[in-house]
Amino acid sequence: MKLRNKFCGILLIEIGALVLFFFFLVPLTYCKVLNVSLLLLYIVNAFFYFKYSKFDTYLDFEPIFIIISTIMVYIFPVFVYNGDNTAYLFSFGLPYSLETINKGTIISTVALFSFFCGSLNCEKKVRAVASVKYIPNNIILLFSLACYFVFALLGGFDAIKNAYKGGGSLGAEKYIMPFLIASIHVIIFNAFWNYVYFKKKNIIPLAYSLIVAIQFMLSGNRTVALYILMPIIILYSLKFRKVSVWSFFSFILVSLVLMNYIQYFRSGYSFDADLDWFYRVSDLLIPNTNTYLALEYVDCYGISFGISSLASILLLIPFSQSYIVNTFDFPVKILNSAYIFSDYLGTSVMGIGMGTNFIASSYLAFGMIGVVCGPYLFGYVIKLLKNDLFSNYYKSIIYVVICGFSVYVVRSGILYMLSFIFYALIIASLNYGYYKYRK
């Protein structure tokens, strides 16, 4: 405990030093030594973070979140960038200020250290369960099947295939998808809950979840497939099969190779064996450009004071964003950091988007305060929820939904998960209340 607290104190000192360096001393021209030094400092702190966290299994949310963040933040500035020839590889060839590269690595390092602090400052506790009840999946499964068939009949899977081949995007069916995914998350957790406490085996919910995940993957959408697969994988690892650190890295490596093949084949392209290595993880490197864009955008226009994150909050109520935009003549592009970055760089004109990442969206919303406080609170909440996994039903549901985003949350705003959490809690509480009332 004392060593962990001392380490948190050291992290806070390092965060303070990096913030001061960011504002007063950072070189404006790219500095290889600085970026390599930040990576080495990060590796040392990550080692002690894992040492003091004492994970029971490494196939869990935090290790996945951290390894994906590491790839996103450090690969480009340390191993790829070598001047103008590589500067715009992951921004669709469109230029941005190269003066932001050093600053981008600094604020990313600050964000990750803040996440470490938040996670470590929430003491790990094993809580006793007061009472446990069997939770049937029948009604939720029927609801989820209805969502699935409506999504399919509206052409959702065909729209996904066409989108990756440049043929448009989802229409009305996109409003069905959050309910479909949220219901599957609840189904998955209920299946594990019932087996852990009552030894009731029911493979139908998990088989159904796997079938839906595979169909999304065959349609070319790796992201939604992972929303479904990751909770199953993580819950299985937490309760039944502990994964060592070496097995964890093997899992990550195999997953990256598999995702890379899907990336090529979903667009109908053949696999190019001669392509430079860093293109194999380009989907994880592209979001890092948004950190640089956030710095450049804030220098020009200032922070958004949270307005750039409103889209994720408005998703809690279907059609609320459209209502506000149409009623108050509010520009939709300023409600979402991904739209802001795409519009700023000009990719929206080309019909493609830059996306965002959790560091860039935090900085755009609240500047350095957002970069420090946002990841800290996120790390603290994650550990708080995991302390109650399989002891508090509703907190467990939230954790399961977050696990579904363990890969994607790095490439989005943290608040993007809110609507999925909200719908999952509603579905779970209605189902639980129905069976409690019936009995």
Average pLDDT over residues 197-226: 89
Place of tokens 């949220």: 182
pLDDT above 90 as % of the chain: 52
Residue 275 is given by DSSP the state S
Note the Cα 77 to chain centre separation in Å: 21
> Which residue do the tokens 């069997």 mark?
134
Across residues 96-113, what is the average pLDDT? 95
Answer whether 206's CB lies under 8 Å from 173's CB.
Answer: no
What is the predicted pLDDT for the residue at 311?
A: 81
pLDDT in tens, 48-93: 999 999 888 999 999 999 999 999 999 999 999 988 788 898 888 8
Model confidence at 375: pLDDT above 90:
yes
Report if residue 26 sits inside a domain: yes
What is the reported pLDDT for 117?
A: 96
Q: Token pair of 102, please?
A: 């050093």
Cβ atoms of 184 and 228 closer than 8 Å = yes
- Select from 177, 178, 114 the least CA-distant residue to 366: 114
Q: How far apart, in whole angstroms, are the C-alpha atoms of residue 206 and residue 215?
A: 14
Query: How far, in Å, are 171, 284, 313, 367 from residue 333 at the CA level?
Result: 18, 23, 15, 19
Gap between the Cα atoms of 360 and 287, Å rounded: 9
How many residues can be counted in the chain? 439
Q: How far apart are CA 61 and CA 310, in angstroms?
A: 25
**Predicted local confidence at residue 342, as pLDDT:** 85
Residue 234 covered by a domain: no
Q: Are 388 and 395 within 8 A, CB to CB?
A: yes
- Provide the pLDDT confidence category of residue 265 given band limits of 50, 70 and 90: low
Asked, for residue 55, whether it belongs to a domain, the answer is yes
Contact 394, 150 (CB under 8 A): no
If one counts the domains in the chain, the total is 1
**What local confidence, expressed as pLDDT, does residue 127 receive?**
67
Q: Does a structural domain hold residue 22?
A: yes
Range of the domain at 114: 1-121
Closest by CA position to 211, among listed 145, 142, 294: 145
CB distance 316 to 173 below 8 Å: no
* Average pLDDT, rounded, for the chain: 87
Q: Is 50 within the bounds of a domain?
A: yes
Residue 49 domain-assigned? yes
Please give the Cα distance from 247 to 100 (Å, whole number): 36
Selected residue with higher pLDDT from 293 and 129: 293
Q: pLDDT tens-digit profile of 215-254?
A: 998 887 888 999 999 999 999 999 998 988 888 888 888 8
Nearest to 73 by CA among 287, 248, 295, 297: 287
In a domain, 37, yes or no: yes
Q: How confident is the model at residue 126 (pLDDT cuts 50, 70, 90)?
A: low
User: Mind listing the pLDDT tens digit for each residue in 313-355?
Assistant: 877 776 676 767 677 666 667 788 888 888 888 876 555 678 8
Question: Of 132-136, 171-175, 417-421, which gets the smallest average pLDDT?
Answer: 171-175
Sorting pLDDT into bands at 50, 70 and 90, what band is 361?
A: very high
Q: What confidence category does residue 274 fall into, taking pLDDT thresholds of 50, 70 and 90?
A: low
**Secondary structure (3-state) at 48:** helix
Specify the amino acid at residue 334. I
The Cα 191–Cα 239 span in angstroms is: 13
The DSSP letter of residue 221 is -
**Does 227 map to a domain?**
no
Amino acid residing at 147:
C
> Could you give the CA distance from residue 10 to residue 117 in angstroms, rounded to a whole number?
10
Non-local CB neighbours of 347 within 8 Å, separated by 6+ positions = 92, 94, 353, 354
Range from 76-80, 154-158, 174-178 that averages highest in pLDDT: 76-80
pLDDT of 269 > 60? The answer is: no
Comparison of pLDDT for 4 and 294, the residue scoring more: 294
Report residue 295's pLDDT band, with 50, 70 and 90 as the boundaries: very high
Selection from 90, 107, 82 nearest residue 359 by Cα: 107
